[in-house]
Amino acid sequence: MAPRAGWGVQLVADVRAALRLRHASPRTEESYLHWLRRFVVFHGGRHPARLGPDAIVAFLNHLALEAGVAASTQNQALNALVFVVRHALGLEMPELDALVRARRPRRLPVVLTAEEVRLVLAQLEGMPRLVASLLYGSGLRLLEALSLRVKDLDFASREIRLRDGKGRKDRVVPLPESLAPALREHLATRVLRLHERDLADGFGETPLPDALARKYPNAAREWGWQWVFPASCRFVDAATGRERRHHFHETAVQRAVRRAVLAAGIAKPASCHTLRHSFATHLLARGYDIRTVQELLGHRDVKTTMIYTHVLNRGGLGVQSPLDFGEARSGRAPEIAAATAREPGPSRLGPS
């Protein structure tokens, strides 16, 4: 049966409903719909049900060979199209034998030294500084830090309880003792006052996960459910039409960290995620068990965590340079350095 007019709106609604039925995150929903739209545009606006496996292969090969996307990007597009075919269209997903997979480069994560982290944090202030401190001090992902609720911070136990982290997994991470006073002050002087002002204005709600808003109608106004890092402005929720307050936007933190890295004079291509990489690497350097670090980071497989063993601050592969043993112990290393610094004398061979 041919798709009826206006099928695009209905297909998007079907995909959205299938994702929400499986409790997919808003970011996954946004990403899958993005790839669905690009796929439809690539094939001239034709309905995906009319297109076979060759159309999917052509689109994915275009991403790998012409668009030059990373392997993770091509995999994301593949996952999105597989989901649409299986769960929105109700069709069997055929084998994609002619698919050209984008090559996944093996790159080591960028890691800052403890002194470089200190320099970057010193360039930050306000909420970006608190968020960046949690990325390094607790090993959080950026959105995990920004999605924290007041009730997730346990100052007595010095713990942060993460709910529905990546992969919809809960975990517990340390709350840095040195950061606790600043976080307490932030909650008392900024967040609580902002919430009280919202309540006085007749607002004060935050979006709640899943069906909690229906189960606990007043929970959205309760102090414990408020964001630790709230946005400065309220927004109108398209689903309910109610005016609410979202959390601080991630781009504001990303830009602040990037400016801080440049201001600190650090040449490494460091970002917010670099602080999480540094958290893991510095723990391993201090002798913490890799399984413990894996649990703190929320990695499904320890192989993901093992990448940090390759960037410990011990030189290339932990090998000592031959220039540093033998000659260094006998005091000859400075002579080598001095010899290389001398001005070259006239050549014995004469002019060429």
Active-site residues, by number, are: 141, 166, 273, 276, 299, 308
CA 246 to chain CA mean position, Å: 18
| CA 223 – CA 221 distance, rounded (Å) | 7
CA separation for the pair 253, 272 (Å, rounded): 8
Q: How many other C-beta atoms are found inside a 10 Å radius of the C-beta of residue 301?
A: 8
Structure tokens at 161: 């309880």
Tell me phi and psi for residue 135, to 5 degrees. -60, -40
* SS3 call for 57: helix
Question: Strand pairing of 153-154 and 171-174?
Answer: unpaired
Radius of gyration from C-alpha coordinates of the chain: 26
Contact 278, 111 (CB under 8 A): yes
Looking at the DSSP bridge assignments, the partners of residue 247 are 230
Which helix (H) or strand (E) segment holds residue 257: the answer is: helix 250-263
> Other CB atoms closer than 10 Å to residue 30's CB: what's the count?
11
120 phi, psi to nearest 5 deg:
-65, -45
State how far the alpha carbon of 349 is from the alpha carbons of 25, 82, 339, 345, in Å: 73, 71, 20, 12
In the 8-state DSSP scheme, what is residue 268?
S
- Phi and psi of 138, rounded to 5°? -125, -5
